[in-house]
Amino acid sequence: MGKRLLAVFLTAMLAISSLSGCSHASDVASGAGDKDYPAKIGDVVIKKEPAGAAVLSPSIASVILSVGYEASLKARSADCSQSDLSVLPVVTADDAQKIHDLGADVVFADALTESQKSAMEKAGLTVLTLGGATSREDLERLYSNVGSVLKGARTGYQQGKDTADGIYQTIDDITRAIPESDTPVTAAYLYDAKGSAATGDMLAGHLVEAAGLTNSASGGKDGTFKVSDLLTADPKYIFCAKGVKAELEASAEYGKLTAVKEKRVYEMDPGMMTLQGEELIQAVSFMAGTVHPELLQGVSSSEPSDSSSPSSSAASQVGTDLNLNQTLKSGTQSDDVLKMQNRLEQLGYMFVKPTGLYAEATAQAVKDFQYLNGMTVTGVADPATLKKMFSSDAVKRTS
């Protein structure tokens, strides 16, 4: 009798242990999980892969695009205006039931009121408010969190981490390409003409430094830098959001700045310094290329190409039957992609085994190639990129 009771007890304990093991969520704050779901992101537990997601944050939308998980999206807010998301239905934070009816069960947002969050939860939606990254390490946190929500604590986490690392790998390439100088070049990025700047405690402030510049607004905090302090710092270059340049030039106070007087104020698409997807690379490339235009010299995507040009004849000498007049991009899987990957590997740009699938690693390799060869960084292998890639003067990656 005692043995029978002991057997029953042990069986029950094993069952309880098994159930608790199944329900244990991988907390991505500690790194990648040993399984995808359940996944714990902050205080939120995602029990299974979402049927779909709605994004109400422009910056998170850029992260999702960079990670390559945009197929998971069912809806967006109007300010998520990235062209790749234009086909998605537009919703607001007050459209809880509509978001649910569109097939989403997860919502990414920057901030919500208590009533909005409550309405979403009542509609069966899981809400995530993920803060923007403030540093290189924090970018990895942001990307791995987004990936973990959409594809799990193992698969999605790693995809997010690898994508964030790839972005900074390209930024590092840009930084290394900047000519060394004993004289610091000072600069500042202004969001407006009222004291908002890319300060040292912001990721945007680090982008200024990654462009080889000394950030004059590094001493500010939370995006605030006094005009009087800017006048004292007197940066040699000023970068700003579109529309701000005219305000600076019209201001008697800002007119005292050397950058304004010597016409070294450059407007940028504001998304470059507010969104945290591929825009990060674009921002560093723009600032570095503006101060050091020699970095952008070389073959551009708009340069004409004909059979008599050195690049074209060299391309045939490399030896390829690849059609160089086509465009290859993310999501494509073909023998042509494999041929391009093999060429990128020869040139030192591929860090994964060529498979014929144009995924994130290939897109990153193309971006690195485009940058080091003086081309517009897009991650898309257009005809100009392919022709340069298969020419004898294609720049190899040496680091």
Which phi and psi (to 5°) does residue 245 adopt? Answer: -55, -45
Report if pTM > 0.85.
no
Dihedral angle sign, alpha carbons of residues 335, 340, 343, 349: negative
pLDDT of 297: 55
pLDDT band at 137 (very low <50, low <70, confident <90, very high): very high
Is the pLDDT score of 361 beyond 90? no
Mean pLDDT of 270-286: 93
DSSP 87-107: TSPB--TT-HHHHHHTT--EE
| 11-25, 49-63, 100-114, 149-163, range with the lowest pLDDT | 11-25
- Span 47-74, average pLDDT: 96
**Is residue 362 very low, low, confident or very high in pLDDT (cuts 50, 70, 90)?**
confident
Q: What is the fold, at CATH topology level, of the domain defined by 310-389?
A: Muramoyl-pentapeptide Carboxypeptidase; domain 1 (1.10.101)
CA–CA distances in Å: residue 134 to residues 61, 138, 139, 200, 204: 17, 6, 7, 9, 8
Tell me the mean pLDDT in the region 373-388. 89
Least trusted range by pLDDT, from 77-81, 94-98, 101-105, 160-164: 160-164
- Percent of the chain at pLDDT above 70? 88
Q: How many CB atoms lie within 10 A of CB 185?
A: 15
Mean pLDDT of the region 363-387? 88
Summarised one tens digit per residue, pLDDT across range 86-108 is 999 999 999 999 999 999 999 99
Tell me the C-alpha distance between 106 and 44, whole Å.
11
The arithmetic mean of pLDDT across residues 144-167, rounded, is 94
Contact indicator for 240, 195 with CB cutoff of 8 Å? no
What pLDDT, on the 0 to 100 scale, is given for residue 296?
64
Q: Is the pLDDT of residue 364 over 80?
A: yes
Is the pLDDT at 40 greater than 60? The verdict is: yes
Q: How far is CA 138 from CA 38, 58, 201, in A?
A: 23, 18, 12
Beta bridge partners of 239: 189, 266
In percent, how much of the chain has pLDDT > 90? 63
Tokens of 253: 């106070």
Higher pLDDT, 222 or 319: 222
- For the beta carbon of residue 23, count every other beta carbon within 10 angstroms: 10
Q: Assess whether the region 186-296 and the region 310-389 belong to the same CATH fold.
A: no
CA–CA gap between residue 332 and residue 339 (Å, rounded): 13
CATH code for residues 186-296? 3.40.50.1980
pLDDT digits (tens, 9 = 90+) for 296-349: 654 333 333 343 333 444 444 567 889 998 999 888 889 999 999 999 999 988
- Band of residue 77 on the pLDDT scale cut at 50, 70, 90: very high
Residue 90 bridge partners (DSSP): 76
- Mean predicted confidence (pLDDT) in 193-209: 97
Residue type, 222: D
User: CB–CB of 264/238 below 8 Å?
Assistant: yes
Please state the domain extents for the chain: 25-154, 186-296, 310-389
Residue 181 has pLDDT above 50, yes or no: yes
For tokens 């000519």, the residue is: 179
Q: What residues have CB less than 8 Å from 328, skipping those under 6 apart?
A: 334, 336, 337, 340, 358, 380, 381, 386
How confident is the model at residue 305, as a pLDDT?
Answer: 38
CATH 3.40.50.1980 is right for the domain spanning 25-154: yes
CB 89 within 8 A of CB 68: no
- The CA distances from residue 237 to 189, 233, 264, 290, 313, in Å, are 9, 11, 5, 10, 41
Closest residue by Cα to residue 175 from 280, 91, 97, 31 = 280
**DSSP structural state of residue 221:** B
**pLDDT mean across residues, the chain:** 87
